A and B are shown apart, each in its own frame.
Chain A
Amino acid sequence: MDTPATYIHVGFIVISLPNLLLIAGMVVLFALALVLPFPHPGRSNGRRRR
């Protein structure tokens, strides 16, 4: 916490490495949300819940 973060400079874009990693993680999570099937738990009487 006492040392400044590493910054990445690409042209006019300046972003800290932690922020870049966070945004990248969010994009990955969003992509996973699109492709991973959503679990539909079965009901207690055995029928599939809709």
Chain B
Amino acid sequence: MSQDTMPQEDAGSWTLGLRNWLQRALPLQNALPHRQPYYVGSWVYVFGVITIAALVWVIVSGVVLAFFGPQWWHVSGVGRFFNSLHFWSVQLFFVFMVLHLWGQYFAAGWRDGRAATWMIGAVIFLVSILAAFTGYLAQQNFDAQWIGVNAKDAMNSVGAGSFFNVLNFGQMYGLHVMLIPVAVTILVVWHIVAVRMRGVVKPIAPKKEAR
């Protein structure tokens, strides 16, 4: 039912208001477009899609690792495989996220009302660094201990050590497997929705036959 034809008693309904806002901000033809402008055919967006694909593998392998635990991922062959899968999908995630970021930087992807899309992407990058850092600390090996012992001095020097204790495995592991992944996932979904709402930014010098 449209806003024009709604009964008087529906005025002020927050569900109706939210639905109307969603229909205006993100109509289904924008959310799931079957055609895109020519400039979407670019390797920069392939990099973005590979980043999302890598994130899926990071989450899937991370769920398996969290289920079986450190003894499993250090000792068994299958555990080592999933540990490596987690590590290398993170490498791919960062490599292609940075390539996508470079592309958007040089294309000035924040133009024409897309500042939020750009900033959410930048925040994803920063939060992902935190995810990678806590991940290194959660490895439960000598590398993790070395990183933790060195990083504690950095945290203490900026006054963050009292509430962000890098030597506290429980705190770092909890952040790594729960809070930060949820944050990254929400931000990535938000980023994609922002892209769908505003569309992909036009090239700085679009082709004459641009459609």
Complex alpha-carbon distance, A38 and B44, angstroms: 10
Q: Is the CB of B98 within 8 A of A26?
A: yes
- Collect the chain B residues with CB atoms within 8 Å of residue A22's CB: 91, 95
Q: Is the CB of B103 within 8 A of A30?
A: yes
- Interface bin, chain B: 10 to 19
Please tell me which one of the listed residues B41, B47, B211 contacts residue A33 in the complex, with CB atoms under 8 A apart.
B47
A38 touches B43 (CB 8 A): yes
A residues 3-32 with Cβ under 8 Å of B? 22, 26, 29-30, 32
Please, how many angstroms separate the alpha-carbon atoms of A41 and B205 in the complex? 24
Q: Which residues of A contact B47 (CB under 8 A)?
A: 33
The CA of A22 and the CA of B98, in the complex, are separated in Å by 12
Whether the pair A29, B99 counts as a contact (CB closer than 8 A) is yes
Q: Of A30, A40, A50, which is within 8 A of B99 by CB?
A: A30
Bound CA–CA A23/B99 (angstroms): 10
Q: Are A38 and B41 in contact (CB under 8 A)?
A: yes
Chain A: how many interface residues by the 8 Å CB criterion?
10
B8 part of interface (Cβ distance < 8 Å): no
**B35 — nearest CB in chain A belongs to which residue?**
A50
Q: How far is the CA of A33 from the CA of B95 in the complex (A)?
A: 14
Docked-complex contact B38 and A33, CB < 8 angstroms: no
A40 and B43 contact, Cβ closer than 8 Å, known pairs A33-B99, A33-B103, A50-B211: no
- Whether B162 is near chain A, meaning CB under 8 Å from some CB there, is no
A36 cross-chain contacts in B, Cβ below 8 A? 43
Contact B43 A33 (CB under 8 A): yes
Is B102 interfacial (CB 8 A cutoff)? yes
Contacts of A30 in B (CB 8 A): 99, 102-103
Distance of A22 Cα from B42 Cα, bound (Å): 22
In the assembly, what is the distance between CA of A22 and CA of B99, in Å? 12
A-B pairs, top 3 by smallest CB distance, nearest first, are A33-B43, A38-B41, A30-B99
Beyond A22-B91, A33-B42, A40-B41, 5 additional pairs, beta carbon < 8 A: A26-B95, A26-B99, A33-B44, A38-B41, A50-B38
